Chain A
Amino acid sequence: MIPSLTKMKTNVFSVAALAALTLSAVAAPQSFDFKDPKGVNNAAFKLDAPLEAISGSANGITGKILFDPEKPADTRGKIVIASSSITVPNAMMNSHLHGEKWIHAAKYPELSFEVKALRNLKTSGDVTTGEAVGSFTCKDVSKELIIPVKMSYLKDKLGNRVPNMKGDLLVIRSNFTIKRSEFNINPGQAEDKVSDEIELALSIAGAAAR
């Protein structure tokens, strides 16, 4: 009688421990890695000045975001863009862009946005929209920005994108505008050809493997 009671107790504890482990695994935020093996992640930009329109993109995107589909408001993390990956179609313009007066890619190899809080969130199915409050850093300037974000949680879709891998995907989209004068990008110069306002469109997907 006593051995069977002990065995039963052990089983109950095992089941409880397993349940707790499962619950904690479900409830814990997942870490999504935004270094895209397919190189599709990108930040497109457009400058629409009175005399010229310039557009280009950057695909050197890395960073990690902690996201819990049950608590999207707790999302935190940092997205980094490699300055050297910023590209415009004209070679001479590209070399000027990476030069000292503009991005100065050699001295400032990264631009980043660090998410500090999410607010005004609305979730419908797997899609959450709202505003991200965070710190945008470019060259030697960090400034707090509030940007609109749309996050799509694609459960178990990692395998569809990267064969032989299991896990989830998190797609983040955001369109916002910054002023180059506020980030020490050749401020006040050539604004008739290179507008002060830079329209940014971030389209990135992160993977959380299991």
Chain B
Amino acid sequence: MRNLFRMLSLATLLLAAGVWVLTGANRGWTKNSIPLKSADPVTGIEGVVYERKFVPGMDFLAASGTVAAIFAGASFLFQTRKTKSK
């Protein structure tokens, strides 16, 4: 059980870091939509349209780190199995 929680903690950290890096390593707040810009050919005005997309930010990393710390802390609640000496 102890090892399971430690594995979960590590997996949470690695998964969060992986998702964060793969989605562009956004160092701001998590975004639920991203602005897409397109220029109008006649007026030259650059219009902005928001597309729904999840882009995790530093708050996502912090939340994942907290969850990982909880898993790691919980692992200490379980004692290691002692081997019987003959």
The stretch from A73-81, A84-92, A131-139 touching chain B is: A84-92
**Interchain residue pairs with CB less than 8 A apart (28):** A38-B40, A39-B47, A39-B49, A40-B47, A42-B45, A42-B47, A42-B48, A53-B28, A57-B35, A59-B47, A59-B48, A89-B31, A89-B32, A89-B50, A89-B55, A91-B32, A91-B33, A154-B42, A154-B43, A160-B42, A161-B40, A161-B42, A169-B43, A171-B43, A171-B45, A204-B45, A205-B40, A205-B42
Q: Which secondary structure dominates where chain B touches chain A?
A: strand
Could you say which residues of chain A place their CB within 8 Å of the CB of B31?
89-90
Could you say which residues of chain A place their CB within 8 Å of the CB of B44?
171
Question: Which of B32, B45, B50 meets A40, CB within 8 Å?
Answer: B45
Q: Given that A89-B50, A90-B30 are contacting pairs, would A40 and B35 also be in contact in the complex, using a CB cutoff of 8 Å? A: no
Q: How many A-B contacts at CB < 8 Å in the complex?
A: 59
Q: How far is the CA of A196 from the CA of B31 in the complex (A)?
A: 23
Q: How many residues of B contact A (CB 8 A)?
A: 20
**B76 within 8 A of partner (CB):** no
Q: Given that A154-B42, A161-B40, A161-B42 are contacting pairs, would A90 and B32 also be in contact in the complex, using a CB cutoff of 8 Å? A: yes
Enumerate chain B interface residues (CB-CB to A < 8 A). 28-35, 38, 40, 42-50, 55
Could you say which residues of chain B place their CB within 8 Å of the CB of A52?
28-29
Could you say which residues of chain B place their CB within 8 Å of the CB of A44?
48
Shortest B45–chain A CB gap in Å is 5
**A41 within 8 A of partner (CB):** yes
Identify the closest chain A residue to B55 (Cβ): A89
B30 x A169 contact (CB < 8 A) = no
Shortest B78–chain A CB gap in Å is 36
Q: Given that A44-B48, A57-B48, A87-B50 are contacting pairs, would A157 and B35 also be in contact in the complex, using a CB cutoff of 8 Å? A: no
Could you say which residues of chain A place their CB within 8 Å of the CB of B45?
40-42, 171, 203-205
Shortest A10–chain B CB gap in Å is 44
Q: Mark A144-181, 1 if CB is under 8 A from B, else 0.
A: 00000000101001001100000001010000000000
